Every structure is written in C-alpha cells, then in structure tokens.
Amino acid sequence: MRLVVGNALGKIFFPRAEVTRFPLRKIPAYVYSEGMTNLGNLEKLILTLSCPDQPGIVYAVTRVISENSGNIIQSQQFGDPETGLFFMRVELETPARKQIEDGIAAFAADFDATFQLDEMGRPLRTIIMVSKEGHCLTDLLYRQRYQELGIEVVAVVGNHPDLAPVAQFYGKPFLCIPVTPETKAEAEAQLLALVESEKVELVILARYMQILSDKLCETLVGNVINIHHSFLPSFKGARPYAQAHTRGVKLIGATAHYVTADLDEGPIIEQDVTRVTHRESTKDLVAQGQDVERRVLAQAVKWHTQHRVLLNGHRTVVFS
C-alpha cells in the first residue's frame, strides 16, 4: 500500500513502511516493588577477576550478572600477551549479590580463576605503621578524615613513640611495638595478633623503617603497601636521597609497592618524580621528596581500596 498526500496541484506517493514489532523486555520484579520506584535493594559492587586468558571469560561473567538482574556500570579488562593472563574489573549494581557470587564461583574453577566481589566504597580496615617521620601518616589521616580515602584506620603502630600525638590528634589508637634484633620475632607476632583480632585487610608502611621478615611478608602478601623514597629500581635500601645526591641526579622520586620478601622489589603500584638541580643539598632533596612520597602513597592506597590493582606476577595491572 501507498500513502497519498496531495492537493489540487498534484499528488505525492510514499511507500508504506514495514513495521517490525519487538517484544517488550520483561522488567525485573524488584523494579516494580513498592510502587515501582524502590531501588533501595540494589547493591553497588566491584568484581575483580584474573585467570589464564581464554575464550569465553567476558561472556561467562556478563551472563551471570545479567541472569541475576545485574546492571554493569563500568567494565575494564586486559589480556597480557607476555604472561598469558587475563584481568577484569567490573562495577555493577544488583539486588542479588549472593546469586552473582555463587554464579562466578561456579565457573571460576573451570577457568582457573581467582576473583573478589566487594561492596563499592567500603572502607578497608587498616593499620598504618610508622617510625619517626610523620609526613605520610599525617597526609593519610587527613585524607581519610576530609577526603574520604577508603580506609578505616583501626590503629597506628610505631616502633618508636614519636608519632603518638599525631595519631591521638586524629582520634586513632597508637600502639608502640619496639623492635630490636632480639625482639623482632615477638614484635611481629604481636602485630599479626592485632591483624587477626581487628580483622585488618590492609597494612600501610608509612615510612616504617624496619624490614619485615620473610614469614610476615608471605602471611600478608598482597595486603601490605610500602612507600620507598626513591624512583625504584634506582637507589634501593637505606639513605636513597644521599645516594641520589652523590650521583648528581636531576630527578628524584618515590615508589609505592607491595611488600615482598625481596627488599624494595615488590610489584610497583605508583611512582612519581620531581626535578632537582645541582644547587640542592641532600637536605633539600629530602624536603622535596617528602611531597612526592605523600602523593604517591595516597594514590596507591586509593587505587588499592577501589580494587583497581591486580597482581600480575612481579608487576601490577592498575585500572584507571
């Protein structure tokens, strides 16, 4: 059939359009509950997953989410051709968290996958460890109080009592655990007992000037972040600013990394630098470097608490 539009001068003929009818999508029941406007049962979650790269991973994940009335807000993935590993981070909302968690677990064994599903924005229970320098501690506590850094600081632990007033100013418990070669094992046992009793999820070494034992590093693997005051792998170990000054470098930096049994060799999360000249003394480098240390450590902690960092062997995948 044709549609006729015309007047006394003539007629214009238009072919009739063929209309394809699509079935209406069934709206999940939870949308209609309590007056069709209640979305209060929706949980916002973050799913992170890693496994050997293979076909069907994204399909399997998204199928589980969609079949349980989930809505994907953001999805990022990366396949590393060197390690053959696949990494994925998904932000989603759903009224059926347990069903999604069970569904992911069901196929995780087939894909040899490890995954984590957590509430978006949930602060991680955290211990901050310090020695005598307070710039990183002060910055973290300020950001936690005023900038919503995603940590719940259950305690500040120091091997010296110097920074107790800083912790007390921010209303945080301070525990002094002195460390000597003779008491190191006992001190670490006390720390582990605190981690277990307080259900601690993250330990931050905010210029904590003690080397953790291999056993402690293995126990807390992937959950301890250190700030090293140099641009690794340059100037490892003690007094890196003095080493940098001796070498006459034109850039100094800081590195936030996960702690491993190998000193200053853990997977790197974040780094930054600032320019210096021949005019700066070692003391000047220290002062400039502290600003970089604060920024780098805070950024690394933020990314970790947002589940943006996934371990990839000796490296990390950091989703922006």
Of 53, 102, 112, 264, the catalytic one is: 264
User: Strand runs (DSSP E) across the chain, as ranges?
Assistant: 2-7, 10-15, 43-52, 71-80, 85-94, 114-119, 124-130, 151-158, 174-176, 202-205, 224-228, 251-258, 268-275, 309-312, 315-318
Q: Is-contact 87 114, C-beta < 8 A?
A: no
- Which two three-digit tokens encode residue 213? 């034992």
Q: Please tell me the distance from the alpha carbon of residue 212 to that of residue 14, in angstroms, as a whole number.
A: 81
Q: Please tell me the distance from the alpha carbon of residue 289 to that of residue 162, in angstroms, as a whole number.
A: 21
Cis peptide leading into 240, omega within 30 of 0? no
SS3 281: coil
- Residue found by looking up tokens 């506590």 in the block: 141
Q: Please tell me the distance from the alpha carbon of residue 208 to that of residue 223, in angstroms, as a whole number.
A: 15
DSSP annotation of 20 reads: P
- Which two three-digit tokens encode residue 146? 């005023």
Q: Is-contact 158 129, C-beta < 8 A?
A: yes
191 burial level (CB within 10 Å; 0-12, 13-18, 19+): buried
Q: Is residue 264 among the annotated active site residues?
A: yes
Q: Is-contact 42 95, C-beta < 8 A?
A: yes
- Which two three-digit tokens encode residue 53? 């790269």
Q: How far is CA 28 from the centre of its chain?
A: 32
- C-beta atoms surrounding 100 within 10 Å: 23
Active site amino acids: 264
